[in-house]
Amino acid sequence: MNGLLRSAVVIVGLSLAAAMVIALLQLPSAAVHLPALVAENLAQSGVEHPVTAVLLNFRGWDTLLEVAVLLLALLTLLTLGGGKAPAPAAAVDPLLQGLARRMLPLIVLTAGYLLWAGAHRPGGAFQAGAVLAAGAVFLQLAGLLPAWTAPRRWLRLGLVLGFLVFLAVAAALLGQGALLRYPPALAGGLILLIEAGLTLSLGLILAGLFLFLTGRDA
Amino acid sequence: MSTGLLYALAGVLLFVLGAAGAVLLAHLMRKVLAFNVMGSGAFLVLVGLAQREDVIDPVPQAMVLTGIVVAVAATALALGLARAFHARTGRTGLTEEARRD
Amino acid sequence: MTEAWPDPAAWLILLPLAWATLAFLAGPGRGGRLAIPALAAQCALALWLAVSLAESGARLHPVGGWGAPLGIDLLADGLSAVMLLLTQAVALALAVYAQAYFADAHHRHEATWFWPLTGFLIAAMNALFLSADLFNLYVTLELLGLAAVGLVAVGGGTAQIAAALRYLLVSLIASGAYLMGVALIYGTYGTAAIASLAPLIDPTPPLATWLAAGLMVVGLMAKTALFPFHFWLPPAHGGAPAPVSALLSALVVKASFYLVLRLALGPFAPLAEMAAWLAGGLGAAAILWGSWQALRTRHIKRLVAWSTVAQLGYLFLIFPLLAADGLAMQAGVMQAVAHGLAKAALFAAAGVLMRATGRDTLDGLAGVAGRVPLTLFAFGLAGVTIMGLPPSAGFLAKWLLIDAALASGQWGWVVVIIAGGLLAAGYIFRVLRRAFLVAPEDSRFHPVPRRLEWTAFALAVASVLLGLRGAELVALLG
Amino acid sequence: MNLAFDLLLILALSWSAWRSLATPDLTRAVVMFIVFGLLMALAWARLGAPDIALAEAAIGAGLTGALLLDALGALQARRGEKKEDA
């Protein structure tokens, strides 16, 4: 039975791969050309970097739901908690700790830069949040930050703040006619507001994915 | 052949490799790795195929950014469940569960 | 097409997102008191949306004001309105049930993050029913999948964790396949907006479109637990706390079915005929295999879960019949609604029976007829809908389905539909018969909150009475 | 020149993906996966997607790698205590 499944999967996989390769090689040009549309509307989007414009404006709805996905993953990890206290951090090389202490301001600065840069060039809330989270993970590994248990209220607030800001902006604009339809004059400011909230919350959530898990059942 | 198409073809291979691995490999960690390879393959097809005429398209790029974040959320959840499962049973695969009704 | 007044469709997504987040903020175990009035408001919004659709036809909401293909559109039409109404109504009833269910000391630990998870689950379904963009649908599918997995794991038991893990892995591979389909579609046509795609896909599309459609539909079938992808469903739905089982079985599996139907009616309509027989065949196999397993299992909730596997089969019987006329589509939607209400009632009732007897097996049921008669009555009424007896909504659904099969001269499906009804009668009566046995001397019964019994009963009654008001529902589909 | 680089990169991507699934040692598999993530970041740069390259390096390789290594430690910690390991 297992051998049968294995051969079936291999055969289906190989034929699927072959079919897809053939399909890709004979594809005509696409009928719709979105890069032109993006470029045309970039001036009204409130930012200059096309990817940020798609992420926060043209397809901001995807991004809103995606933040919900992250929150949800964290929430489910919390249901698995069982409330056991995490093991205390193991003794760590003091050299590493010193390095981590010195790195901390640099990490925060990098995140801030990425957040600000996102409007004009590659960067933005997701990259900035990821850098913050990486910093938190690093601190934990250096023994400077304990693993997290059940989140207290202030931490819960930090986790959801970015999402709540995003949701509030969406709701306020819905009152004006359409979900997330930024008035062009305010678009830049609103996007920066959302991104600032998201940077903090995404940093906490992404860090939380690691810090709520680590040391729990080791 | 354009750069975009080349990477799209690579994406096809990674997708199929990952999908087969996710179905066939028994160890939960391997399933998670395989699922991530599968996702990366789909991402490469999404961007590579859209840019097969070597025109940068920010729309699929933004989609992939969304997809990467969703993938890490799913990975963390899968690992959390796998750890909880292992802590309760000492096992690292679901094969025995499959035999029970 | 946007009006100056706020759009109920958009609020149907924002509101559950908001209360889910606030419930998380409020802390472990909190949120029930927030969820119930919010769900009542959502019911009103869904009703408002349905009425306004009946008056003025489908509504488009361009998120961000851009419109497809640059932006993402939300589309509310009759089909989405029916699914939204069903979702809000069942969720409200189950929220009332859940609040009483989790008030009990034995179950309180399961409620830690139940409310925020449920809020996200409902928001994900509403977003899915309204989205008109294939990539946005992928995000809603992931949101729905992770919320459902979280709810399966909410009890924290070993079997529940294992079921959640299995469900998550299936769900992730399935969404991976769906995502690959979206990638191929975007590559082929340069857009993922359904409105822009529909005119571009003709009956002889490039190979990539065929592969995309195949990958997406197979992924969605796995998420719907269509035979032979059903293996994850019985442990997941059978092992979760009763309100969770009810939510998942009544609503969540319908969401991916809805998407298959949407695709088959919309952008992939030129391709649908080719695969319709396969979908119908798998549906027929699901009906027979699911019912057979429901006749064999020893556990009450497993029985109800296997019944879901069987009843989902009916939904896929409509695909070979879609071409005939509007009948098959009406039958499918009616079946989705009837099964949604009845299955919520069955799981709610099963939760009461298990709490009353303290056991989860059919053998433990002896004597419950005298202890919780209302619940047993609810189980029987919901069973009437599942069996497809008049005047229930289930009867109407199966009647429409048989009508559609006869109209197109496809007799084979009629045999499967009738056989499925007889098998359903078999497994429903397995429960009822045991309940009327005399309780053994040593059996102990636990008191059950009246609210649990009444919500189960209300859902069951709704599933039967809806059969009398089926015309309105069908009219909404247009 | 560019084509040669792309082909080499794709070869390395496929090889690291294959090793991360097929190598018997789990720790080495996770390390191979992190290498795979970093190579993916390079591929994104080649596709003119620096945003994704940044995110892939930080999230796909970095955070996912940390999660995997941490989980690896947890899953292997009990090996000695419980015998029924599959």
Question: Can you tell me whether residue C299 is helix, strand or coil?
Answer: strand
Residue C439 pLDDT: 86
Enumerate residues 6+ apart whose C-beta is below 8 A from A106: none
C171 and C314 housed in the same domain? no
The answer to whether the beta carbons of residues C69 and A37 sit under 8 Å apart is yes
C223 and C110 housed in the same domain? yes
**Residue B101 pLDDT > 70:** no
Interface of C with A in 113-172 (CB under 8 A): 113, 116-117, 120, 123-124, 127, 135-136, 139-140, 142-143, 146-147, 149-150, 153-154, 156, 161
Distance between CA C146 and CA C15 in Å, rounded?
19
Residue in C139, C172, C301 to test binding to B, most B beta-carbons within 10 Å: C172
Full domain range(s) for residue B42: 3-93
Rounded to 10 degrees, the C-alpha dihedral B89/B94/B100/B101 comes to 120
Report residue B99's pLDDT band, with 50, 70 and 90 as the boundaries: very low
- C187 contacts in chain B (CB < 8 Å): 8, 45-46, 49-50, 52
Question: Can you tell me whether residue C478 is helix, strand or coil?
Answer: coil
In this complex, do D86 and B96 lie within 8 Å of one another by their Cβ atoms?
yes
C290 and C352 housed in the same domain? yes
C410 and C464 housed in the same domain? yes
Q: Is residue A81 part of a domain?
A: yes
C250 and C347 housed in the same domain? no
**Touching partners of A (3+ C-beta pairs < 8 Å):** B, C, D
Residue D5 pLDDT: 96
pLDDT digits 0-9 by tens, C243-261: 999 999 999 999 999 999 9
Instruction: Please state the domain count of chain B.
Output: 1
Per-residue pLDDT averaged across C5-16, rounded?
A: 89
* Burial degree of C347 (CB within 10 A; 0-12, 13-18, 19+): buried
pLDDT digits 0-9 by tens, D10-58: 999 999 999 999 999 999 999 999 999 999 999 999 999 999 999 999 8
Residue B34 pLDDT: 97
Per-residue pLDDT averaged across C121-148, rounded?
A: 98
C232 and C293 housed in the same domain? no
Interface of D with B in 22-61 (CB under 8 A): 26, 29-30, 33, 36, 40, 43-44, 46-49, 51-52, 55-56, 59-60
Per-residue pLDDT averaged across A199-205, rounded?
A: 95
Full domain range(s) for residue C417: 274-478
Distance between CA C155 and CA C152 in Å, rounded?
7
- The two structure tokens encoding residue C451: 């609210």
C163 and C210 housed in the same domain? yes
The DSSP-derived string for B30-98 is: HHHHHHHHHHHHHHHHHHHHHTTTS---HHHHHHHHHHHHHHHHHHHHHHHHHHHHHHHHS-SB-HHHH
Of residues C397, C463, D65, the one with CA closest to residue B75: D65
Q: Is residue B41 part of a domain?
A: yes
Picking from C245, C267, C289, the residue at the C-terminal end of a domain is C267
Residue in B6, B24, B64, B70 to test binding to C, most C beta-carbons within 10 Å: B70
A83 reaches C (C-beta below 8 A): no
Full domain range(s) for residue A159: 2-211
- The two structure tokens encoding residue C294: 């429901």
For residue C199, report the phi and psi dihedrals to the nearest 5 degrees: -75, -15
**Residue C291 pLDDT > 50:** yes
Chains C and D contact (Cβ–Cβ under 8 Å for 3 or more pairs): no
Residue A13 pLDDT: 96
Residue D84 pLDDT: 38
Distance between CA C111 and CA C94 in Å, rounded?
14
Distance between CA A178 and CA C7 in Å, rounded?
8
Q: Is residue B99 part of a domain?
A: no
Distance between CA C209 and CA C200 in Å, rounded?
11
C284 and C256 housed in the same domain? no
Nearest chain C alpha carbon to B69 = C139
pLDDT digits 0-9 by tens, C394-446: 999 999 999 999 988 899 999 999 999 999 999 999 999 999 998 888 788 89
Average pLDDT, chain B: 92
**Residue D85 pLDDT > 50:** no
Strand partners, C74: C61, C131
Per-residue pLDDT averaged across A18-33, rounded?
A: 94
Report residue A91's pLDDT band, with 50, 70 and 90 as the boundaries: low
- The two structure tokens encoding residue B29: 């960690």
Q: Is residue B68 part of a domain?
A: yes
C184 and C326 housed in the same domain? no
Q: Is residue B67 part of a domain?
A: yes
- Greater model confidence, D84 or B80: B80
Q: Is residue A119 part of a domain?
A: yes
Report residue A121's pLDDT band, with 50, 70 and 90 as the boundaries: confident
**Alpha carbon separation from C1 to A178, C4, C58, C60 (Å, rounded):** 10, 10, 10, 7
Distance between CA C66 and CA C55 in Å, rounded?
26
For residue C443, report the phi and psi dihedrals to the nearest 5 degrees: -75, 145
Residue C326 pLDDT: 80
Please compute, for residue A186, the number of CA atoms within 13 A of its CA located in the half-sphere on the CB side.
10
Residue A95 pLDDT: 82
pTM score, whole prediction = 0.96
Picking from C267, C293, C311, the residue at the C-terminal end of a domain is C267
- Greater model confidence, C64 or A150: C64
Enumerate residues 6+ apart whose C-beta is below 8 A from D80: none
Nearest neighbour of D75 by CB, restricted to B34, B68, B86: B86
Q: Is residue A218 part of a domain?
A: no
The answer to whether the beta carbons of residues A168 and C21 sit under 8 Å apart is no
The answer to whether the beta carbons of residues C381 and C461 sit under 8 Å apart is yes
Specify the DSSP element, H or E, that contains B23. Answer: helix B3-24
Q: Is residue A102 part of a domain?
A: yes
C259 and C290 housed in the same domain? no
Residue C4 pLDDT: 44
Nearest neighbour of C176 by CB, restricted to B38, B97, B98: B38
**Residue D79 pLDDT > 60:** no
Instruction: Please state the domain count of chain C.
Output: 2
Would residue C359 be called left, alpha or beta, if left means φ above 0 and alpha means ψ between -120 and 50 degrees?
beta
Q: Is residue B98 part of a domain?
A: no
Picking from C239, C267, C295, the residue at the C-terminal end of a domain is C267
C216 and C311 housed in the same domain? no
Q: What ipTM describes this predicted complex?
A: 0.94
Interface of B with D in 62-81 (CB under 8 A): 64-65, 68-69, 71-72, 75-76, 79
Q: Is residue B48 part of a domain?
A: yes
pLDDT > 90: percent of chain C: 84
Residue A143 pLDDT: 83
Q: Is residue B20 part of a domain?
A: yes
- The two structure tokens encoding residue C199: 């005119």
The DSSP-derived string for A37-53 is: HHHHHHHHHS-S-HHHH
